[in-house]
Structure 1
């Protein structure tokens, strides 16, 4: 489909994208500043980034990086006047430069978000969620699968993690939590599937449910092999990297009961190749998946199904545009290679695939807050 909807920008004061650039990014700089005892050089660079991202313009990156991702097109423009997807990604790349992540030296390769990731992974809430797996163990496999799917969908909403969806409540509510639910189509595709690609979102308590879902699918032979795509370097505060996958697996392996059993299953699956981790450079690109390079397009195109987790991946999947919410999900994803599914909690304005009745009920109940508040979710599938 040739995109017709306008690209999301952050130039309108009061809009959600504007608040991210004007308020959230400065708060993230403050958080990173306190995460490690950085030296004067890093603090000066963080000060400069704070000034630049709120009042300055897009500047070239060291070493000519991002040349193929539009830096030449947007250099000299305000952060608020370029595509929001692009400026958000550029911010995190600049943040890593500021703390010395890429440069030779003592801070090279040090994840500035790691302390918060580990705190979340080792929290009492994670203990409670993992303990809930023991209760699920007595349920039929289909019910366990449904609960794990919802745990993966809702991520770190602990009150919903691993519980079975109340189908009757969904029917009673004028506006259901799931604004689109293709779960039956998803399970139909996950029936003897060869290779499943899962493009991960966040680390910590959101990555753990993703891994548990993969473990369930492998154990019950609904898939033969899983390829888990993560970020090659820290990104968007909590996005998962290979190190985060290892941390999550270690957390599971040392847990008691069912959680530990799942952890050992996943550990064995990695050692024998049934679970593979990928960290392609394009995973940190400021571009939609329609623009993915040929090697990644070929790899994903060979998969039986690709599942994309989270809000950012959804924006990259359909294009970060002001689509009318009733735009067909199939049409918005027609440039993605192979069958695709999205598991997403809504945390930004972009959405497709809703029916007109659901959209009208959401607007009547909440105005436009339903798009960004994280209280609604969707499961969408394009076979």
Structure 2
């Protein structure tokens, strides 16, 4: 039985990247899970912990499922728990990666990608949880969670991560209030600000969006990772932890040929490929709001996930729910922001997009071939922001590049428009550093690439 989620997805045309081109990208440099690595820790400890929380969440909602669906809901709860318990055992005992069987729009793409992974191993060996590329295995887990829910009607539409996402949102409300207050005060004074002052304020909100990326529930294993205090007061002290800071390039790209502050801005489009819901999404909303009122663009397009993904990634429900929360809250400036954002969506200056490609395991340099519709859409942009670690891993192919390899080189053929990665480092991959910086940090802090302490605003 095909789930409602499968049926509701937008119709899109995809083809599968041939293995010849994929293997030419370089088998030897692909990051395979090795004992002692951050990838190994992720698959050994963090992913089973996340799956255990999924099982606990479903069990805790047993009463809710009964109230909504009666006996059918209880049976669905049991079935989902059984599926995920089996999945956890597969992972922990290094069983082979299994084909998907849920007959959704992307099922064939995933299964053909599994066939491709088999060609990389050779000798008739099957990819397994600890003998596969980390990026693939981690994405595959969340796709299997989606499959497990699709096999558990009538609770198939239930987002197993929604409770923890909502809790993180409410834990961060004080920090959100501070941001909304700052934004509304800024709007009051906008007419009196010089171009240099506008530039400085834009930089502040870029940094807010950067450090908002620390709030990642997939890294914390679903534990509380909310932002409880205002981030604005910390920006100056955090500047030294930005390893690549290309904010000047962003400003120059957005202001090229424009009279900053003029009401008659040329039609310009900025895209934001979203990462986490909760506090980070709010920082992205604040940045998008500022981009419009600074007349740096006339449209902001957001790209979210079409299924629950990496615990806290933004779905359409999370996007809409967040704006509804702002409209309903008893805080003058938060509700004002909510009204503005709702109006932006209504008049088309904000646009939300979904595409199946964002929840495939493929690197972004395959997008033009696999999801040409999405690549064509992104080519319409004047600047694309890619938020967070997973997007960075897919931008760079999750390869073990030297630290000094230029960002543009690591992107390979992927360049639909000028683009910028905004991420705090939570995976052991980083390019575009000045000579010696990576080595110096490695010598002084063994966890510098995975702790979220450091960040980049990296432009190509």
Q: Same fold (TM over 0.5)?
A: yes
Residue 128 (1) aligns with residue 192 (2): no
| Match in the other structure for 2:45 | 23
- Comparing 353-362 with 65-74, which one deviates more in the overlay? 65-74
* Matched-pair contact (CA < 8 Å) for 2:277–2:318: yes
Alignment match of 2:374 (pick from 296, 316, 320)? 296
- Comparing 148-157 with 133-142, which one deviates more in the overlay? 133-142
* Matched-pair contact (CA < 8 Å) for 1:7–1:322: yes
| Match in the other structure for 2:434 | 355
Task: Give per-residue Cα distances to partners, 1:44-101, cap 9 Å, x unaligned.
Answer: 1111101111221101101455432402234632122121111111111112222x2x
| Match in the other structure for 1:189 | 253
| Match in the other structure for 2:147 | 97
| Paired positions, count | 370
Mapped to 1, the partners of 2:184 and 2:353 lie a distance apart of 30
Task: Give per-residue Cα distances to partners, 1:207-249, cap 9 Å, x unaligned.
Answer: 1111111011112221111110000010111110000001111
| TM-score (normalizing by structure 2) | 0.76
Structure 1 gaps, min length 5: 171-175
> Root-mean-square deviation (CA), in Å?
2.1
| Match in the other structure for 1:67 | 108
Mapped to 2, the partners of 1:342 and 1:244 lie a distance apart of 22
Mapped to 2, the partners of 1:144 and 1:294 lie a distance apart of 36
Task: Give per-residue Cα distances to partners, 1:14-63, cap 9 Å, x unaligned.
Answer: 11001111111110111111113352211211111011112211011014
Task: Give per-residue Cα distances to partners, 1:135-191, cap 9 Å, x unaligned.
Answer: 465455444322221111111373573346327x74xxxxx3101100111122223
Residue 6 (1) aligns with residue 32 (2): no
| Match in the other structure for 2:345 | 270
- Comparing 130-139 with 113-122, which one deviates more in the overlay? 130-139
Mapped to 2, the partners of 1:296 and 1:135 lie a distance apart of 35
| Match in the other structure for 1:180 | 244
Alignment match of 2:231 (pick from 136, 161, 172)? 161
Task: Give per-residue Cα distances to partners, 1:339-359, cap 9 Å, x unaligned.
Answer: 110100000011110011322
| Match in the other structure for 1:173 | none
Q: Which has the larger radius of gyration?
A: 2
Residue 44 (1) aligns with residue 82 (2): yes
Mapped to 1, the partners of 2:279 and 2:292 lie a distance apart of 21
Q: 1:291: Cα distance to partner? A: 0.9
| Match in the other structure for 1:151 | 208
| TM-score (normalizing by structure 1) | 0.90
Mapped to 2, the partners of 1:43 and 1:79 lie a distance apart of 20
Task: Give per-residue Cα distances to partners, 1:88-132, cap 9 Å, x unaligned.
Answer: 11111112222x2x2472211110000001111112x32233234
Q: 1:304: Cα distance to partner? A: 0.8
Residue 379 (1) aligns with residue 457 (2): yes
Secondary structure, in 3 states, of the residue corresponding to 1:165?
Answer: helix
* Matched-pair contact (CA < 8 Å) for 2:175–2:230: no
Mapped to 2, the partners of 1:237 and 1:282 lie a distance apart of 18
Structure 2 gaps, min length 5: 1-23, 63-76, 119-125, 187-192, 216-225, 256-264
